[in-house]
Amino acid sequence: MSLGQRLRRLREERGLTLAQVAAAARISVSHLSAIENETRRNPSFHIVARLARVYGVPMDSLVEDEGKKAVAQPAASRGLEGPPTSYVEMARRLAEADALSHPARLLEVIAALLREREQAYEARQVDAPSAESPPGSTISEPPARTSEGERRAASAREGAEEED
C-alpha cells in the first residue's frame, strides 16, 4: 500500500474530512488531496511527520512499504551507496526523539546516524579492498572524518542549554 493510500485509509477510518486533516497538519486541502491521490508522490519529511501526529501513528508505519521496496531494489539501480532504508531509519529516529521540535536533538540524531554510516563505510572498505589493492592488503588510511556536523550539534546543544 502506498503512502497516499495509507493516508486516505487512516482519514476515512477516523471519519475526518480533507479540510480537517489539512488544517490540523497545517497544509492546504489541495496539497493533502494530491498526496492521497499520488499526484504529489514525495511529500517532505516534515509533512509526513505532521500527518503521522494528526493520525496518532508512528511515522515509520506510513512509509513502511516504501522502505521495503527500497530494500528489494539493488542499491546500484537506486543510485545510492548507503543503506537502502536510510531515509526510513532517519525518519524513525527523528520521530522517536521528537527532534522536529528541538533543533539540538535534530542535529544529535543526524550526527549519530552519520557516524554510524561512516563506521559502516569504513568497515566495508577494510573488509573489501579495492581492485587496485594487491591481494591480501587492506586500506591503510580511512577517509578523512567529517566532524562539522558533530561540531554544529555540540554548538546547538550548548545554545539550547543556555536558553533553558
Give the closest residue to 6 by CA, choosing from 56, 44, 61. 61
Domain of residue 47 covers: 3-71
Most distant CA atoms of the chain, gap in Å: 65
Looking at every residue in the chain, the average pLDDT score rounds to: 72
Average pLDDT over residues 83-94: 65
**In CATH, what number is assigned to the domain containing residue 20?**
1.10.260.40
Give the closest residue to 110 by CA, choosing from 89, 83, 125, 79. 89
What is the DSSP annotation of 15-50? T--HHHHHHHHTS-HHHHHHHHTTSS----HHHHHH
pLDDT for res 85 = 52
The secondary structure element, H or E, covering residue 78 is helix 75-78
**What pTM value is reported for the model?**
0.45
Q: Has residue 150 been placed in a domain? A: no
Same domain, 10 and 58: yes
Render pLDDT for 99-126 as a digit per residue (tens, 0 to 9). Answer: 777 777 777 877 787 788 788 778 777 7
